[in-house]
Structure 1
Amino acid sequence: MYSLTGYVRDSVTRQPIQGANIFILETRRGVTTGRDGFFILSVPAGTYTVKVSHVGFKPIVTSMNIRELVYREVLLADDTKNLEEVTVTTEAPDRNVRKVELGVTQLAIKNIKRIPAFMGEVDVVRSLLLLPGVSTVGEGAPGLNVRGGSTDQNLVLMDEAPIFNASHLMGFFSVFNPDAVRDVTLHRGGIAPGYGGRASSVLDIKIKEPDNQQWTVNGGIGLVSSRLGVEGPIVKNKFSVLAASRLAINDFLFRLGPVNLRDTRANFYDFTTKLKYLLNEHHTITFTGYAGKDVFKLPSDSLASVEVNASSTQYNYQTINGTLRWNYSINDRLNLATTAILSHYASENVAPDSSNAFRLTSSILHRQLKADLSFLANDFHSLQGGLSVIDYRIQPNQLIPGPFSNVLPVTLPIERAYELAAYVQDEWTVNDNLSVMAGLRYSELLNRGPAEVRTYQEGVPREPETVASAKTYRSGAIYNRTGGFEPRLALRFTLAEGQSIKAGYNRMRQYIQQITNTTAALPTSRWALSNPYILPQIADQWSVGYFRNTSGNMYELSAEVYYKTIRNAIDYKDGAQLVLTPAPETELLQGQGRAYGLETMVRKSKGFWTGWASYTYARTFLTIDGPYPEERINNGNAYPANFDKPHTVNIAAVYRPSTRFNISLNFTYSTGRPVTQPYARARVNGVIVPIFIDRNQQRIPDYHRLDFSMQFEQDPAKNKRWQSSWIFSVYNVYARRNAYSVFFKMNSRSLTDAYKLSIFGTAFPSLTYNFKF
């Protein structure tokens, strides 16, 4: 037996094509390319007719004489006759109907780039807000809320390395360089057992494969940032590299604004690289690296959380990630992938005043080793299994005074733990109409020393004053273990051609959480591991959906309903102080959460007009009912979570009349999020004090916005070395002053003065120039 192996790529962009079919006519056997466009097919020696095809590309049929290992790079050209290459996703045209998984959406980067962007900056994460079941607490807020989950309940991966803060400029943009991203997959239901560690969703970002045939340079110049990237072969067909960078220096923009903003700083940079080495047809080694840093300075502020008044506050935060992966294709049915992962996130608040100067720092170090084995047993069973071990090291907070400062130093103990996991999965095709994907994951957290574990008095609320004793554990000693099984199940039943019903259940355990009592978590918020007092969050989600494709897969219709419960859901006491708190368990509360909703979507993926429209009905409630009045919220009654938005409508449309020009529009509407308003006021020593009763019983005004963009490209039929494009966009076309929050100032003349804070209260035009050669 000999092997036919290689890659299938786009002839213009040189990007890998997932799902391309390689079919040998004589043997009637074939394979499908993976996400990196790679294929391997074993055949006896001989001469064969090989057909390579994919929807939206012109098929290739060629004759090959295979008498030894044959390597081929196949380049497919776009079939632009009917412009049907303008698709919404990179998935197979009927994947949404045929695949077992549900609640999974994949977006290709070329379609993300067509979505109108704020100030011309293409944003991978913000594009997901146009999908059903995904929301945020407000414009410019970091993180996503997926199916009733908080922002820290999303596992964000960049080539398998976790990202603990996926935002630049305090949440305005994401850390993912669009020039380096290949595709984006969001798992919000029916999550495979290979993923774990978060209670809500998985956002899987894949970096594109570097071109191993020719060198290219690409980049862009925009209002917020400029980009420059390069990729190509160091050794042709063997060793290739990709490097992409962004730089944003925006101080000059604030000098054009009001006087009180002219000393503001808002700068960042990031660098993404990927190296790929193909030893032979069986062994591939890849390395993905990322480094990014933000500097955000407010000209005047007060850090009341550390009881220090400062003339200015500077927020610095940075991420350094690295992933080393060895892929061993044992044969055409068995594959082993071994991965070493390092992720480090650090943040600091800086106050420069000499008498009160300080640095408040925190950091998290994630080191992981994992192995995944895939086995194609036969045409009916596809098996997977894997092992993982994570080593956590968290520095919650450290207060470092300046050289002449009156501030006293504070260092909280470092938290250390191991997270162990193992999983198995079987995707079973029972018959033509029924497929099952069943899996089981087991995970466990082991807290280890050195550590001091407090014991609290019985019969009284847990407070710093009620500590009864403390026990010290030596370095490496295991002082707490918690874990359990996480079953996953998904079913797909075909009703008729192009129609299916899917149902799924999954349990997720989360052992690490972001500790913050603000509506939108700051990038500098601390993280904490589960321990004897902060129990892991456990989410159980049930979902069922109907999927249908019509008109040759031109139109896709879907409707999903879900119900999710969360044990040990986290919220905080009124007035909780979390910064520099050595015992956060005395400030946070845990209870029950439940979320349910309906997600509907219709999508058109071919023709001059493409896009989608979706409607989501979603509710999220928390119930915190502790044994003492101080440990209850709303007297133990259910109340809406901060990110509860019952109604959301999203519309995205792209009109592409030619290969050189397209127009994009998107519109979004959502119910205003909950807020807590004062019910009354009291005068204490001449000071007006607001009185709050129940939490999250009012709402800010509803949100809606329209965006627009136009893209001008060169004629792809003219094969020029230098390729360029212009993108003109307008964010918030009709200048809607959407409320980010509503706050109140008490005075003696009236009960309250209410104020509405708008982040983007006007239209934002932008112009971006992109190039490639």
Structure 2
Amino acid sequence: MWATAQLLKQPSTENNLLRTTTLFCVLCVLLSVSGMAQQAIVRGVVFNEQQVPQSGVNITWSGGGTQTDESGFYTLSIPAEKTIQLNFSHIAYKAIKAQFNLKENEMVEFNPVLNAKVEQISDVVITANTTDQLSGITILTPETVRKIPGANPGVENLLQALPGVSSNNELSTQYAVRGGNYDENLVYINDIEVYRPFLIRSGQQEGLSIINPDLVRDIDFSAGGFQAKYGDKLSSVLDITYKRPVEFAASADVSLLGASISAEGISKNKKFTAIGGARYWDNSLLVDAKQTQTNYRPRFTDLQTYLTYTFNPKFSIDFLGTVAVNSYNYEPQTRQTNFGTLADPVALVVVYNGQEQDRYETYCGALSTTYQPNEQLDLKFTASAYHTQEQEHYDIAAQYALGTPNTTIGSANAGEVDFTRAIGAQLTHARNNLDALIVNLQHKGQYIKDEHQLDWGLKYAHENIRDRLQEYEIIDSAGFSKRPPLEEFVNEQPYEPFDAPLSPFTSRRAQNSVSIDRVMGYLQYSKRINWSSAKAWFNAGIRSQFWTVSGLGIASTSQQVVSPRGQFSLKPNWKSDMLFRLAAGIYHQPPFYRELRNDQGQVVPDVEAQRSVHLVLGNDWSFDMWGRPFTLTSEAYFKSLDNVNTYTLENVRIRYRAANDAEAYAYGLDFRLSGEFVPGTDSWISLGLLKTEENIQDRGYIARPTDQRFKVAFLFQDYVPRIPDMKLYLKMVYQTGLPGGSPSYADPYLYQTRLPFYFRSDVGFLYTIINSERSSLRNSLIKELSTGIEIFNIFDRQNSITNTFVRDAATRQQYAVPNYLTPRVFNIRLSARF
């Protein structure tokens, strides 16, 4: 049986899944019995004094050994029926010795705690993990990121299982946090702010995230109330740190969706380190399973490297470089979507002509120098550049008809359309091109003295964007061209003739050349305080930004904002391990180019920065359950927004009105229970409650496009107790439907509907064929070789991202036809580490 069967009561559907998996595991047991003869297993997690799992701990005995992974977990095979002494050692801790005498095939869990062996400089030593906890940072494990299955795997795939983070599109790496939109999230790699392509409209066009999980060392995420040292966005911060190698290592991963390789190493004199990775991605497997039959040729490639050279202990230099080329060629052929009810089934049948050719090329390079004149002072200087060239070209004609599908159970023609009505057509055209160059120069400094810490920074950014927007849509209903439903038109075609030149249903034409210069700076102070038996920490900071917008035919406009922010944490000396946090601040988001461009493509240079007042109250409760550590994290938040730049959301494309014409609010509760639901693994259950509304031009409050009222997510890892190399990874997300799916030009105050709820479950079964922890293979070139199967959308839930609206000319009825996301898909995966 699975280990969790003893801990959790699963729903009946999951029980069926677990039973099926168990049969598979039993077969593996039978095949592995001979290799496990006269062996026993010791496994567990090694902790430090702060009960934080400790990586890099050596576990040795006279015949072999192993090392804890990034989550502190280890497993070791030892001879049975013998007394074996295991030594647990780490350079920063006192060694521990333990003796075991186990029976054949017996498995014992041993979770030692290592104590520091060096004298502390001060009474309290705050580690990086402790500092993150005090400031409300969520720490994610890179190894978990690499293992958890997903249609678009990576860091963002794991973020979607956190409370307060929502994404209703498994083909997209974009996410919304606590009512914000996709443009309101900061992303850093080694202190370098990274950007996404501008013209992406659909999740299936995105390809790869800029973050390569094979290169990642640390993942920190804050969903709100973050410090002044982070930039000017309204919602969240994702702070990624790439690895600095200490020895040679390599990895390779191959699946039906793509492949990736990485390598890292260090020079003999220990001064030069290098890590690099290459990825190729092709999500044809996912798109070909959708209801639209296509000739689909996506090509997503990515190269990244991180180089460092240490001249001496005080001075080092590093370089981060990325190249990404996404080629998206799409030629739809036919589509049939069945919807409606059993009593009144309806089908949309579409025949296409034409194709879409998109290409996104992005290049990024950053050179940094770090100077540490003494133990208290760190100085860092960085120069970076980001360049993107994008094209979005398509001409697609669609002839469509509504029909009635065959609903006879058992019929050979079940689901096929018996007859059709209401023939119509649609022509979409685009010739959109964009070229953007962003150059940054920045300095960051930090000074630490005893309990005091001072951080500061100064940054200059120059953004140059050249953009051509040319797109239109023509809709024909039963032989009559439909005019756009604007207020000045009485739109009664095809029932009444309209004497006027034909107009496209939608049309946008613009050509812009814009330059934006920004100067940003911040200053913040942090201090730890001892109050009798309690401990406290506070942070107070301020940041400011001044920017100027200019360009061809644009009157130069300058603006400035100031953002004060503060945090306070208290850890009482209670019997229960409790930590309380309070964060507040005024957050601004000065407009980026896309926020300056209105829904017709014209640039509005005097768009003001959106402003949000954050108030976050949080609590961490750490406790033991079933003899293992758990943490319940709770946060209540409230955001009051003004100068809101309202927008419409279609798939992942955002169109702003560029008018600062609204005010809004968001409030909610986030809960996450994390810990070892299964010994030696990291799993969690998260729950999010949210309400966000906006008041546009004083017409009253209505739901914002990202009003995700309720969310529950489940991230789970398991293994077979007698075969720890057989593992299960499961991610399950349920979210209520978002507002949206309205027809083009619809007034949101007159047309408020929600999409159906989103439910998705991805599962992966992974078996480690070769493991260097086995004594006979510890000197093998291959440290780990794993293979497995992944099942995306295991329950085959039909989730929809938008609606296509089709008009029945005979009845004047308009149908909302759902655009479904990916169905159940199987993937095979092979991974190796050297």
TMscore range, shorter length: 0.7 to 0.9
Aligned to 1:660, the other structure's residue is in SS state: strand
- Check whether the contact 2:360–2:390 (CA below 8 A) recurs between aligned residues: yes
- Check whether the contact 2:638–2:665 (CA below 8 A) recurs between aligned residues: yes
Identity %: 19
Cross-structure match for 1:418: 518
Cross-structure match for 2:815: 753
When residues 249 and 438 of structure 1 are mapped into structure 2, their CA distance, relative to the original with a 3 A threshold, is closer
CA separation in 2, counterparts of 1:21 and 1:146? 34
1:364 to partner: Cα distance: 2.9
Cross-structure match for 2:422: none
1:425 to partner: Cα distance: 2.4
CA separation in 2, counterparts of 1:772 and 1:661? 17
Aligned to 1:674, the other structure's residue is in SS state: coil
The one-letter code matched in structure 1 to 2:701 is: A
Residue 541 in 1 paired to residue 596 in 2?
no
CA separation in 2, counterparts of 1:690 and 1:390? 36
Cross-structure match for 1:261: 294
Deviation string 1:480-523 (CA, Å, 9 cap, x unpaired) is 232223323333342625112211112222113464899xx9xx
Structure 2 stretches lacking a partner, 5+ long: 1-45, 58-69, 75-87, 101-106, 113-124, 334-351, 397-427, 472-506
1:207 to partner: Cα distance: 1.6
- Check whether the contact 1:664–1:710 (CA below 8 A) recurs between aligned residues: yes
1:373 to partner: Cα distance: 1.8
The one-letter code matched in structure 2 to 1:59 is: S
Residue 180 in 1 paired to residue 215 in 2?
yes
When residues 190 and 644 of structure 1 are mapped into structure 2, their CA distance, relative to the original with a 3 A threshold, is same
1:275 to partner: Cα distance: 0.6
1:143 to partner: Cα distance: 1.3
Cross-structure match for 2:364: 321
Cross-structure match for 1:82: 109
Q: Identify the match of residue 298 of structure 1 among 315, 325, 330.
A: 330
CA separation in 2, counterparts of 1:359 and 1:339? 36
Cross-structure match for 1:489: 567
The one-letter code matched in structure 1 to 2:190 is: D
Aligned to 1:192, the other structure's residue is in SS state: coil
The one-letter code matched in structure 1 to 2:570 is: R
CA separation in 1, counterparts of 2:330 and 2:585? 43
CA separation in 2, counterparts of 1:492 and 1:114? 35
The one-letter code matched in structure 1 to 2:734 is: Y
Residue correspondence of structure 1 range 674-685 to structure 2 within 5 A: 674-675=739-740, 677=742
1:733 to partner: Cα distance: 0.9
Cross-structure match for 1:332: 375
TM-score scaled to structure 2, two decimals? Answer: 0.68
1:386 to partner: Cα distance: 1.9
- Check whether the contact 1:19–1:54 (CA below 8 A) recurs between aligned residues: no
How much is the aligned-residue C-alpha RMSD, in angstroms? Answer: 4.4
Q: Identify the match of residue 162 of structure 1 among 190, 193, 200.
A: 193
Cross-structure match for 2:544: 443
Cross-structure match for 1:563: 638
Cross-structure match for 2:90: 60
When residues 750 and 495 of structure 1 are mapped into structure 2, their CA distance, relative to the original with a 3 A threshold, is farther
Residue 277 in 1 paired to residue 309 in 2?
yes
- Check whether the contact 2:264–2:274 (CA below 8 A) recurs between aligned residues: yes
1:177 to partner: Cα distance: 2.3
CA separation in 1, counterparts of 2:108 and 2:317? 39
Residue correspondence of structure 1 range 359-398 to structure 2 within 5 A: 359-378=431-450, 380-397=451-468
Aligned to 2:212, the other structure's residue is in SS state: coil
CA separation in 1, counterparts of 2:153 and 2:431? 33
1:647 to partner: Cα distance: 0.7
CA separation in 1, counterparts of 2:796 and 2:183? 31
Deviation string 1:582-636 (CA, Å, 9 cap, x unpaired) is xx9976453112111000111114715541111110111111116xxxxxxxxx1
Aligned to 2:214, the other structure's residue is in SS state: coil
CA separation in 1, counterparts of 2:314 and 2:470? 51
1:561 to partner: Cα distance: 0.4
When residues 504 and 770 of structure 1 are mapped into structure 2, their CA distance, relative to the original with a 3 A threshold, is same
When residues 241 and 571 of structure 1 are mapped into structure 2, their CA distance, relative to the original with a 3 A threshold, is same
1:144 to partner: Cα distance: 0.7
Deviation string 1:529-556 (CA, Å, 9 cap, x unpaired) is 9842x11111211011121111277111
CA separation in 2, counterparts of 1:610 and 1:99? 18
- Check whether the contact 1:190–1:490 (CA below 8 A) recurs between aligned residues: no
Q: Identify the match of residue 591 of structure 2 among 495, 503, 512.
A: 512
Deviation string 1:93-147 (CA, Å, 9 cap, x unpaired) is 99888756444211111011232222xx632212100001100243334511001
CA separation in 1, counterparts of 2:461 and 2:128? 33
When residues 399 and 642 of structure 1 are mapped into structure 2, their CA distance, relative to the original with a 3 A threshold, is closer
Cross-structure match for 1:243: 276
Aligned to 2:205, the other structure's residue is in SS state: helix
When residues 759 and 104 of structure 1 are mapped into structure 2, their CA distance, relative to the original with a 3 A threshold, is same
The one-letter code matched in structure 1 to 2:235 is: S
1:396 to partner: Cα distance: 3.6
Deviation string 1:4-38 (CA, Å, 9 cap, x unpaired) is xxxxxxxxxxxxxx99899xxxxxxxxx999999x
Cross-structure match for 1:199: 234
Aligned to 1:199, the other structure's residue is in SS state: coil
Number of matched pairs: 640
Cross-structure match for 2:581: 502
CA separation in 2, counterparts of 1:233 and 1:643? 46
Q: Identify the match of residue 622 of structure 1 among 694, 697, 707.
A: 694
1:357 to partner: Cα distance: 10
Aligned to 1:332, the other structure's residue is in SS state: coil
Residue correspondence of structure 1 range 465-484 to structure 2 within 5 A: 479-484=557-562
Q: Which has the larger radius of gyration?
A: 2
The one-letter code matched in structure 1 to 2:725 is: R
CA separation in 2, counterparts of 1:695 and 1:171? 33
1:154 to partner: Cα distance: 0.5
1:343 to partner: Cα distance: 2.0
1:742 to partner: Cα distance: 3.3
The one-letter code matched in structure 2 to 1:389 is: Y
TM-score scaled to structure 1, two decimals? Answer: 0.73
Structure 1 stretches lacking a partner, 5+ long: 1-17, 23-31, 38-52, 65-73, 86-91, 302-308, 401-406, 454-470, 474-478, 627-635, 679-688
When residues 359 and 595 of structure 1 are mapped into structure 2, their CA distance, relative to the original with a 3 A threshold, is same
- Check whether the contact 2:377–2:446 (CA below 8 A) recurs between aligned residues: yes
- Check whether the contact 2:172–2:204 (CA below 8 A) recurs between aligned residues: no
CA separation in 2, counterparts of 1:642 and 1:253? 26
Aligned to 1:771, the other structure's residue is in SS state: strand
1:59 to partner: Cα distance: 3.0
The one-letter code matched in structure 2 to 1:273 is: T
The one-letter code matched in structure 1 to 2:177 is: V
Deviation string 1:276-304 (CA, Å, 9 cap, x unpaired) is 11111112211111111111122259xxx
